[in-house]
Amino acid sequence: MTTRDQIIETADRLFYHGGFEATSFADIAEAVGISRGNFYHHFKTKDAILEAVVTLRLARTRAMLEAWHTEAPDPRGRIRAFIHMLIANRAQIMAHGCPVGTLCLELAKLDHAAQHRAAEIFGLYRDWLAGQFHALGHGARAEALALHLLGWSQGTAVLIAALRDEAFLQREVAGIEAWLEGLPLSPNTPHKDPACSSPS
Amino acid sequence: MTTRDQIIETADRLFYHGGFEATSFADIAEAVGISRGNFYHHFKTKDAILEAVVTLRLARTRAMLEAWHTEAPDPRGRIRAFIHMLIANRAQIMAHGCPVGTLCLELAKLDHAAQHRAAEIFGLYRDWLAGQFHALGHGARAEALALHLLGWSQGTAVLIAALRDEAFLQREVAGIEAWLEGLPLSPNTPHKDPACSSPS
DNA sequence: ACGAATCTAGGACAATCGTCCTAAATTCCC
DNA sequence: GGGAATTTAGGACGATTGTCCTAGATTCGT
């Protein structure tokens, strides 16, 4: 792995754990084990390293979504792979929140130029999930369902980071899966009796 | 209003808009219109001003919850008052996220000593909402329902801050209200057909 | 009205920030 | 193998950070 890649990798981790603003050039350089001068040779500004991190996250998200697409045979299984992230990464989420949500919120507060590019990670999930809901037969509502699921998982991530309530996480994941199973298969099915996603 | 109150008030606003770490003593002092020496006389450390801000937010949240309790006649109306926050503050939430969620996430990343006190604001909402659900007849599930609603609104806040999709906000609020109306009135009612909160 | 307490202003302090420079060390190409 | 390009180290730069100090200005109790 090149020095540049090590820098991006380390910055990605430190930005997630401590936030973008609170992580300094010196922190990254020390964690990588190089001098600040060497760091500067690869990245002239802090915005440049942030842009590289966002680019890395976009690429990794795309790769993960593609992997889910090939590994899971049906749309419901793929959506379940998305939901499973909350369980698999629960320790990290409880400690530092969701990497995407926390970065977007911080960049929004800083009014940073890269905030829209960071939000594009959410866009990837939204479009991919919408594709799965479309495959499940929900044509016009596919994107709305995707955003609903995305928001549901984001809210769960925020609360478990703030309250460290793992039982709540388990209930919400169960609730999301029940909601997914209960979705009408056909989009033309009238939705007269709107169901509720109350925790079991 | 005393100088100290002005400082807390201004710090509260600046912490919300720009974040705790990114807001400096000089920023607050300049916004209030006082010298840094004067500032130091009232607050010796940055942690002290943060603690005062958290205390203010806790008090204001308590007062707001009490006001909702007296203004709205029934538990459902009170819960709707909570939900209405998303609509009333949508411009601010789109620009800076939810004040509670963003502060808790930032303090978690900084591993700040005040993170649990900040999370107690969520605790106030949780307990108050649980009280309303309890009054609606959901005994044992009241707290789970409260956390579910809290997470739902948090997820909505994160996504509208990142994606600036106001239509999504409207759909989620409508979805929350429909979910609230669809909740069984009696807790003993068997919940065999778990409803889903799919966007309309 | 006068001493005491409080408030305010302005600057000093070391540390750290992002940024930039120079000069070695290394790698690469021919 | 030798010249060019790249990579690395280490320090300097001004600006800003949180913190602290001193000395006037103001307020207050008596």
Answer whether residue A84 is part of any domain: yes
CB within 8 Å: B172 and A109: no
Residues A20 and A91 placed together within one structural domain of the fold: no
CB within 8 Å: B175 and A106: no
Answer whether residue A85 is part of any domain: yes
Residues B84 and B32 placed together within one structural domain of the fold: no
Domain holding B144: CATH number?
Answer: 1.10.357.10
Residues B66 and B143 placed together within one structural domain of the fold: yes
Percent of chain A with pLDDT over 70: 92
Residues A58 and A142 placed together within one structural domain of the fold: yes
Say how far B25 CA is from C4 C1', in Å: 30
**pLDDT score at B186:** 56
**pLDDT score at B192:** 37
Say how far A52 CA is from C17 C1', in Å: 21
Answer whether residue B92 is part of any domain: yes
In which domain, by residue range, is B193 found? 54-200
Residues B167 and B191 placed together within one structural domain of the fold: yes
CB within 8 Å: A191 and B197: no
Using a CB-CB cut-off of 8 Å, the residues of chain A touching B163 are: 119, 122-123, 126, 147
Q: Over chain A, what is the mean pLDDT?
A: 93
Residues A59 and A143 placed together within one structural domain of the fold: yes
Residues A84 and A141 placed together within one structural domain of the fold: yes
Answer whether residue A49 is part of any domain: no
> Would you say the C-beta of A171 is within 7 Å of strand D?
no
> Would you say the C-beta of B40 is within 7 Å of strand C?
yes
Percent of chain A with pLDDT over 90: 90
A173 to chain B: closest CA residue: B148
Domain holding B27: CATH number?
Answer: 1.10.10.60
**pLDDT score at A186:** 56
The label of the residue with tokens 């450390």 reads: B45
Answer whether residue B49 is part of any domain: no
Nearest Cα of chain A lies from the Cα of B89 at a distance, in angstroms, of 16
Residues B29 and B114 placed together within one structural domain of the fold: no
Q: Confidence class of residue B199 from pLDDT cuts 50, 70 and 90?
A: low
Query: pLDDT tens across A70-106, in order?
Result: 999 999 999 999 999 999 999 999 999 999 999 999 9
Structural domain count of chain B:
2
Answer whether residue B161 is part of any domain: yes
Answer whether residue A10 is part of any domain: yes
Across the interface, of A119, A147, A171, the residue whose CB is closest to B144 is A171
Residues A119 and A79 placed together within one structural domain of the fold: yes
Query: pLDDT tens across B135-157, in order?
Result: 999 999 999 999 999 999 999 99
Q: Mapped to the 3 state alphabet, what secondary structure does chain A carry? A: CCHHHHHHHHHHHHHHHHCCCCCCHHHHHHHHCCCHHHHHHHCCCHHHHHHHHHHHHHHHHHHHHHHHHHHCCCHHHHHHHHHHHHHHCHHHHHHHCCHHHHHHHHHHHHCCCCHHHHHHHHHHHHHHHHHHHHHCCCCCCHHHHHHHHHHHHHHHHHHHHHHCCHHHHHHHHHHHHHHHHHCCCCCCCCCCCCCCCCCC
> Would you say the C-beta of A36 is within 7 Å of strand C?
yes
B120 to chain A: closest CA residue: A163
Residues B14 and B88 placed together within one structural domain of the fold: no
Say how far B156 CA is from D7 C1', in Å: 47
Answer whether residue A189 is part of any domain: yes
Residues B180 and B161 placed together within one structural domain of the fold: yes
Domain boundary among B26, B44, B62: B44
Query: A49, A1, A44: which is closest to A21 by C-alpha?
Result: A49
Residues A63 and A128 placed together within one structural domain of the fold: yes
